[in-house]
A = this chain, B = another copy of it.
Amino acid sequence: MATAPPIIILDHPQMGENIGAAARAMLNCNLTALRLVAPRDGWPNERAETMSSGALEKIPPVQIFETLQEAVADCHYVYATTARLRDMVKPVFTPNGAAQDCMARAGKGQSTAFVFGGERAGLANDDVSRCDAIINIPLNPAFSSLNLGQAVLLICYAYQSTIDQTKAKSLPTGDSHPANHEAFANLMQRLEDKLEDKGFFKSDDMKPSITRNLRNTLSRAEMTEQEIQTFHGIISVLSGSKDSA
């Protein structure tokens, strides 16, 4: 099902630099619908274009509104990003919670928007009351001020990381292939034989636990076939043998 990504609305933004940074952060995170309510320095804005690193040329034209009420008119659910919690009874989301909520709404055909207040005073209480929920970014309470561009980046990235399906951890091996257990066992056997030849094992009692530890150490490296070959070469060179490489 086609889903509409959330709209970013900057209410009374002041500095073009921050509008540009917001656009850049949006496009970084696959968001492209930007609306401005009464930008102080008008629109278009040269400083915004410079700071956007080309993002403003790549997204659809920015839409300009005179009031927040008009800017959210076609939205079904609107999240107000505020630096401090207001004395209002209104649902509060974390950025990740809001991102998941807006994904679910988009899946049902609802249009959503994230609203950010201007640099000087943030959103007026009246404007917050026109929104359906508040997003509060959980930061260090003793040092929580973000600039506008940074706030937009965190919210957009919360959205992007919700849609991104990349695994939390992976081990890309490029053109090489992970070695199978036989290749690894052959390497370990050869290493063990060479060490035996050179008198590495002081006593036969110690040998099993030492080889077990070596195997554990090197298996954690999750070697590729190429890396196994490299280690065979190392063993050959160190031991002065040429019987394998």
Q: Distance (Å) between the CB of A30 and the closest chain B CB? A: 5
B138 and A161 contact, CB distance less than 8 A: yes
A58 and B168 contact, CB distance less than 8 A: no
Chain B contacts for A150, CB-based, 8 A: 25, 150, 153
- In the complex formed, the residue of B with least CB distance to A30 is B140
Q: Distance (Å) between the CB of A192 and the closest chain B CB? A: 24
Known: A89-B171, A89-B173, A157-B157. 20 other contacts (CB 8 A): A25-B150, A28-B145, A30-B139, A30-B140, A54-B143, A55-B143, A58-B143, A87-B174, A89-B172, A89-B176, A89-B222, A89-B227, A91-B170, A91-B171, A94-B169, A96-B168, A97-B169, A138-B161, A150-B150, A154-B154
Chain B contacts for A161, CB-based, 8 A: 94-96, 138
Chain B contacts for A93, CB-based, 8 A: 168-169
- In the complex formed, the residue of B with least CB distance to A21 is B150
Categorize the interface residue count of chain A.
35 or more
B-contact bits for A170-185, CB 8 A (1 contact / 0 none): 1111101000000000
B-contact bits for A121-154, CB 8 A (1 contact / 0 none): 0000000000001001111100111100010011
Chain B contacts for A145, CB-based, 8 A: 28, 53
B166 and A94 contact, CB distance less than 8 A: yes
Chain A residues 93 to 124 lying within 8 A of chain B, measured CB to CB, are 93-97, 100-101
Question: What are 28 A-B pairs at a CB distance below 8 A?
Answer: A28-B139, A29-B139, A53-B145, A55-B143, A85-B172, A89-B172, A89-B224, A91-B170, A91-B171, A92-B169, A92-B170, A92-B172, A93-B168, A93-B169, A94-B161, A94-B166, A94-B168, A95-B161, A96-B168, A97-B168, A136-B166, A138-B161, A139-B160, A150-B153, A153-B153, A153-B154, A154-B154, A157-B157
